[in-house]
Structure 1
Amino acid sequence: MSVFLHEEDLPDGLSLSGDVAVDTETMGLQTHRDRLCLLQISDGGKDEHLVRFAPDSDYAAPNLRAILADPNRVKLFHFARFDLAAIEHYLHVTAAPLFCTKIASKLVRTYTDRHGLKELVREMLNADISKQQQSSDWGGPILSDAQKDYAASDVRFLHKLRSELQIRLEREGRSELAQACFDFLPHRARLDLAGWAENDIFAHM
């Protein structure tokens, strides 16, 4: 298993097959303010690829954008809402169709309120991931080995998690409901970008 770091785009000729797991690292949680620093991607094989963007990046990334925009690939996320907004705002791509492991977890793991990636991986895959680097500086000139491994781990397990969650969604009769939620998520991300992040426009008041 290897982690590859690329600058500004995936290299020409890199072959990623089928559906891809995707995650992002930004300077903070305010998408308009806090730039996209890193995007992680994996096809579920033995390697993870990290694409780093400079402070003055134009985010052209034609190879990466082509994969994210491919309508024949499902993009796997954990908490897709945030990543979709960052990708839409900086890369100008709608990363769909998609599957969100956090949404799926909330629909089938109703016996708990713990839906973080670390908890899902622990319970469903009997594995452990470290979240120690979650709040580190992703915009620095050098990424440490710990940062790279943390970033890679955020996409390393998503294919296996989807398989397990799909079994539970089917078992509980919630697959169709989950798909409707996934289909809506790009619109939810656009609402966030447009200023409705904290307001539920579907609420009565």
Structure 2
Amino acid sequence: MKSFKEFPVPQLISDSHSLRQMVDSLLVENYVTMDTEFVRESTYWPELCLIQIAGSHQVYLVDALSKTIDLSLLTPLLLEPKIVKVFHAAQQDLEIFLHLFGFLPVSIFDTQIAAMVAGFGNQIGYDSLIESLLNHKVDKSYRFSDWSIRPLTKAQQDYAVADVTYLWSAFPILYEKLRLDNRLSWVASEMELLSNPDFYLPPIEKICKKLGAKIRNGRSLACLSYLIQWREEKAQKVNIPRHHFIRDESLIAIAVALPDTVKTLEKIRGINRDFANGQDGQSVLEIIKKTKEIDSESLPTPFIYKNPVEKPSEALVSLLKVMLLAKCEIYKVAPKLVASSKDIEKIALGYRDLEIFTGWRHEVFGKDAIDLCEGKLMISVQDKTLKFVKV
């Protein structure tokens, strides 16, 4: 078993004075490891319950639900560029900080993404990464614990601590591997995406495409777009999941039927009388009225996915997928980090304005993918491995 740092008993932080002292003690660190525990089953925004932070000498459990703590005191630590904030699978943690503080921590490092760059596979879990780097098994039995209940049990505290203490020992090992492989710049480019607040915006356009896929009427599609935006804003305001407020099926039915009275709105599946007669029903009817006033030339064009001209060659797609796997074996990088299935299809269709043709991805896969599509490269088998031969 590889050695990892032993930490003292975790320090529980539940008041502002202790939090200020904790931050002051951590401002001398080169890096800290961080994680959060939260619940989100019945809310739009995650309800932050606990923040775990480990430095070189101490590990802390910050009670985010305490009535006597001001979490904004974390700001100096979160915004100190000289201190790397190490997370594993950071997206949800960072989304919480962005919503809570209005900014993202600076100098972040996501070990899940870094591990994909380093060749540990697609979206490797924390327990698997720790076992690979430290040869230690992490108990994940409390992964779905209710972190809003107080007091926290000893088992919950031990679980929470393990999420940052082993990470503290694993980070320098992973970092050194990336340095020796000259891949720190690859990770840095991925961290730029996580550091962009726009990355965490609600996927309105994606939802519109998903729900509007079968709508062939431009006016109904416009109405659906307005309804989706309205639902998102309403769900955020009252802090409930979007589907708890009004389901996708009901939005589609409203957009197709375009009811113009409370009585006709009531007949939509999933819409009850209280909703139709209340302020929300009135808002829906106003959206429909606005939609009906749009002139025909300004209506959106329905989404078309089964255009024969846009259907890629299945054989070429298969060849590109084989090449992706082979190149990722050579470079020891996770295929999902390099290109998605949609990327492969777009490459086969001739698209060249893709992220795959920039930065390190172009070196690993992009340039050879173009050559394969243009008949300048062929694939052969030699000694039971794939080889790429320039034509």
TM-score bracket relative to the smaller structure: 0.7 to 0.9
| Aligned equivalent of 2:95 | 85
2-structure distance, mates of 1:198, 1:161: 38
| Aligned equivalent of 1:191 | 199
Task: Look up the equivalent residue of 1:88 and give its one-letter code.
Answer: L
Residues 59, 90 of structure 1: 8 Å contact kept: no
1-structure distance, mates of 2:139, 2:164: 13
| Aligned equivalent of 1:24 | 36
Task: Look up the equivalent residue of 2:19 and give its one-letter code.
Answer: P
- TM-score in terms of structure 2 length: 0.46
Task: Return 113-122 or 29-38, whichever deviates more.
Answer: 29-38
Out of 158, 169, 183, the position equivalent to 1:174 is: 183
Aligned structure 1 segments of 4 or more residues deviating by more than 6 angstroms: 202-205
Q: How does 1:31-46 map to 2 (within 5 A)?
A: 32-45=44-57
- Closer, same or farther: CA 145–58 of 1 in aligned 2, 3 Å: closer
- Closer, same or farther: CA 29–154 of 1 in aligned 2, 3 Å: farther
| Aligned equivalent of 1:123 | 132
1-structure distance, mates of 2:178, 2:43: 31
Residues 81, 186 of structure 1: 8 Å contact kept: no
- TM-score in terms of structure 1 length: 0.84
The answer to which structure has the higher strand fraction is 1
Gaps of 5+ in 1: none
- Closer, same or farther: CA 96–24 of 1 in aligned 2, 3 Å: same
Aligned pairs, how many?
198
- Closer, same or farther: CA 12–170 of 1 in aligned 2, 3 Å: closer
Aligned-residue offset at 1:114? 6.0
Gaps of 5+ in 2: 1-7, 207-341, 352-391
Residue 143, structure 1, aligned to residue 155, structure 2: no
2-structure distance, mates of 1:113, 1:104: 11
Residue 48, structure 1, aligned to residue 59, structure 2: yes
Aligned-residue offset at 1:93? 3.6
For 2:83, what is the secondary structure of its paired residue?
coil
Aligned-residue offset at 1:136? 0.5
Q: Which fold has the larger relative contact order, with Cα–Cα distance below 8 Å and residues 6 or more apart in sequence?
A: 1
Percent identical pairs in the alignment equals: 26
The answer to which structure has the higher helix fraction is 2
2-structure distance, mates of 1:92, 1:155: 24
2-structure distance, mates of 1:102, 1:180: 14
For 1:38, what is the secondary structure of its paired residue?
strand
2-structure distance, mates of 1:197, 1:107: 29
Residues 102, 115 of structure 1: 8 Å contact kept: yes
Out of 64, 72, 91, the position equivalent to 2:82 is: 72
For 1:99, what is the secondary structure of its paired residue?
strand
Aligned-residue offset at 1:198? 9.3
Deviations 1:89-125 (A, max 9, x none): 1133421111110001111125x34611101111111
1-structure distance, mates of 2:118, 2:100: 32
For 1:87, what is the secondary structure of its paired residue?
helix
Q: How does 1:157-172 map to 2 (within 5 A)?
A: 157-172=166-181
Aligned-residue offset at 1:156? 0.5
Aligned-residue offset at 1:191? 2.5
Task: Look up the equivalent residue of 1:41 and give its one-letter code.
Answer: I
Task: Return 22-31 or 85-94, whichever deviates more.
Answer: 22-31
